[in-house]
Amino acid sequence: MATAIYLEHYLDSIENLPCELQRNFTLMRELDNRTEEKKGEIDKLAEEYITNVRNLASEQRVEHLQKIQSAYSKCKEYSDDKVQLAMQTYEMVDKHIRRLDADLARFENELKEKLDVSGYESPDNRALKKGGGRGLKEKRGPKGRGRKCSDDDSPRKKKIKNSPEFSESLLPVHPSDVLDMPVDPNEPTYCLCHQVSYGEMIGCDNPDCPIEWFHFACVDLTTKPKGKWFCPRCTQDRKKK
């Protein structure tokens, strides 16, 4: 019964995900097309400038170069928008992956508790008793963490990674629950604890913060603070200045 509830809630939460991903990918494709058009415009302006530079007055040269610079600025603006969309898309998918990791950890704990109450003895425990502990030890691999991030960052600098809907639907998860999950070697780490993303996280409002993202529990937070928030390290640095 518990399995069905977890599955039903998770499927409900990802119902709109395909449409949201398609929308973001379409927007990124449009930004790519705009960038390519601007690059063609820049090539044309540069060619005109090189061809006519000797015949142009000083003011005309400046004006022509300003047009080229303006076109480059527009390209950069499109590229920045695309990066933001890519990060938003990553966070969108990652939010559901972290929720799945958390639900799996909670479900496993509930299952263990029920088995302990019922007095069920798992095959691992029986092997442990018969083999002096060798059976269980041989089956255990190195422990690792669940997956994330990137964070990053993000619209990352100013926003909590989890939306209000996600925060309300996800029950508190203890870090140790996630620590027991398999490690993704390519997954970035965050926070003062140098671990991957899990649960609720908050971004430091210092744009030069070397860490950027922090777990609520590691910085003694239970809810998102109002206004700007700076991590302990950046707070110390600001006091020294």
Residue 234 annotated as binding site: yes
Is residue 170 within 8 Å of residue 104, measured between CB atoms?
no
Q: Is the dihedral of CA 74, 79, 82, 88 positive or negative?
A: negative
Q: Are 197 and 190 in contact (CB under 8 A)?
A: yes
Alpha-carbon distance of 174 to 206, in angstroms, equals: 27
First and final CA of the chain: distance in angstroms? 58
d(CA 13, CA 5): 12
Taking only the tens place, the pLDDT of each residue in 25-50 is 999 999 999 999 999 999 999 999 99
Consult the annotation and say whether 19 binds a ligand: no
Q: Is 149 annotated as a binding residue?
A: no
Q: Is 215 annotated as a binding residue?
A: yes
Give the pLDDT confidence score for residue 25 in this predicted structure. 92
**Cα–Cα distance measured from residue 43 to residue 51, given in angstroms and rounded to the nearest whole number:** 12
Query: Residues 18-25: contacts with CB within 8 Å, 24+ apart?
Result: 20/92, 21/89, 21/92, 21/93, 24/85, 24/88, 24/89, 24/92, 25/89
Residues 215-219 have a mean pLDDT of 89
Q: Are 58 and 122 in contact (CB under 8 A)?
A: no
Please, what sign has the CA dihedral across residues 163, 164, 165, 169? Answer: positive
209 marked as binding residue: yes
Q: At what angle do helices 58-118 and 17-52 cross, to 10 degrees?
A: 160
For 149-158, 204-213, 215-224, which range has the lowest pLDDT when averaged over its residues?
149-158
Give tens-digit pLDDT for 73-126: 999 999 999 999 899 898 888 888 888 888 788 878 888 887 877 765 555 555
Phi, psi of 105 (to 5 degrees): -65, -45
Contact 213, 190 (CB under 8 A): yes
pLDDT at site 129: 52
Classified as helix, coil or strand, 211 is coil
Q: What is the C-alpha separation between 8 and 11, in angstroms, rounded?
A: 5
Do 115 and 122 contact (CB within 8 A), yes or no?
A: yes
Determine whether the annotation assigns residue 75 to a binding site.
Answer: no
